[in-house]
């Protein structure tokens, strides 16, 4: 997959994008990542990308010209333009899977008071990673890149790993244990030591349902509502 990022703060991506799974994905060619400074598409001496909003009000707004030119230059036949902004739909695991199916993503990072509305005519997806305020869209873009990249074939080594994680099936993941079997008086559940694979799977399903009901009942509610209207929902938050 190819991912281009348009941002005012390209240096923010240097550390997180060069570690762990994202680093390996780039080294193996499964992820081709390029981070661009939006100011490179300006034409004035001050490299200005924002201006005062028509009608007055606080803050500044992204001008359309640099963003239109940048998107038009970077767009390919399969490009999906993703805007990171507070007004976007909540970014969930199902959306990550959808985006992972595309060959090229172009992520547009928000900042200031927002975008000139005409920019939205170029956008295929508007996403938000949560109901809170961040300084700019760089961190949300990194979250999207990470969530999508780990779903690409071969990135995790064992492709079943991503299928068994929290939110992959509208529920939280079951409790996990490893050696030693007892630590400071806390024991691993006997069923996990039994070697009975059917019993283990049943226990995991039960524990996943219990944990979801206790910690994220909204996931069960969303799933039930979508089952009632004939659709399948695979929600999650980041």
Kindly state the helix (H) or strand (E) to which residue 80 belongs, with its residue range.
strand 79-90
pLDDT at 222: 73
CA distances from 180 to 51, 184, 191, 204 (A): 61, 10, 15, 19
pLDDT at 235: 36
pLDDT at 237: 34
CATH 1.10.1270.20 location in the chain: 165-228
Cis before residue 180, ω within 30 degrees of 0? yes
Q: What is the CATH number of domain 165-228?
A: 1.10.1270.20
**In the chain, which residues have pLDDT < 50?**
233-238
Q: What is the CATH number of domain 2-149?
A: 3.40.1280.10
CATH 3.40.1280.10 location in the chain: 2-149
pLDDT at 229: 60
């Amino acid at each position: 997959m190819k991912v281009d990022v348009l941002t005012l703060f390209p240096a923010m991506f240097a550390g997180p994008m060069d570690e762990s799974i994202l680093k390996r994905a780039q080294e193996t060619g499964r992820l081709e990542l390029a981070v661009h400074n939006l100011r490179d598409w300006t034409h004035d001496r001050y490299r200005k990308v924002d201006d005062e909003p028509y009608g007055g009000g606080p803050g500044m707004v992204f001008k359309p010209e640099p963003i239109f030119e940048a998107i038009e230059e970077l767009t390919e036949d399969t490009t999906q333009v993703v805007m990171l902004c507070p007004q976007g739909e909540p970014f969930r695991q199902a959306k990550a899977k959808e985006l992972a199916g595309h060959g090229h993503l172009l992520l547009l990072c928000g900042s200031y008071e927002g975008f000139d509305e005409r920019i939205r005519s170029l956008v295929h997806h508007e996403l938000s990673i949560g109901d809170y305020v961040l300084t700019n869209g760089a961190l949300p873009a990194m979250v999207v890149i990470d969530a999508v990249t780990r779903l690409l074939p071969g990135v995790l080594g064992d492709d079943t790993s991503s299928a068994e994680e929290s939110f992959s099936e509208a529920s939280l993941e079951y409790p996990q244990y490893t050696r030693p079997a007892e630590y400071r008086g806390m024991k691993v559940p006997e069923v996990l030591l039994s070697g009975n694979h059917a019993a283990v799977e049943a226990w995991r399903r039960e524990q996943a349902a219990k944990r979801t009901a206790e910690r994220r009942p909204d996931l069960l509610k969303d799933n039930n509502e979508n089952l009632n209207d004939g659709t399948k929902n695979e929600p999650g938050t980041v």
